[in-house]
Amino acid sequence: MAIRIIVKEPDEVLHKTAKEVKEVTPNVKKLLNDMADTMYDAEGVGLAAPQVGILKRLIVVDVGDEHGLIKMVNPEIVAKDGEQFGPEGCLSIPGLNGDVRRAEQVTVKGLDENGKEVTITGTGLLARCFQHEIDHLDGVLFTDIAERVYEYTPERAGKE
């Protein structure tokens, strides 16, 4: 396992559509593990493969809830419900936050790191994180859809 370099905006890889993973190989598992290490090292709650410069449909998410670390291959949102509106940041866009409107609950289907099909329903922060990371797989950044973007400072955290 290794910590990878997180690609920063305006790198063009962040604006491209990631390719479907045809098979969960040992290299895919290693990449998922590296992505998790990188996410934790950067103190993030999610990371998509394009953020480490790889155009594959892979995400890792850990919002500190009962689901723990989620590693997903070819994730797709199959159901959405409700609405939430609030701040988001991104490891690829340090120093900025934005107010983004998202579904309050999503159901995501994909493969786990062993190639087994999984379906996970998340609400609140987990739902927001799933939507944010899956957007990365389609070349969409939170700044593309935010209703307001502003500079992040620790003093303003939670007050915007």
Binding-site entries: 90, 132, 136
Residue ranges for the known binding site for Fe cation are 90, 132, 136
- Which listed residue (12, 104, 133, 147) is catalytic? 133
Pair 102, 131: CB distance under 8 Å = yes
Catalytic site residue 66? no
Q: Which tokens is 96 given?
A: 């900025």
Catalytic residues: 133
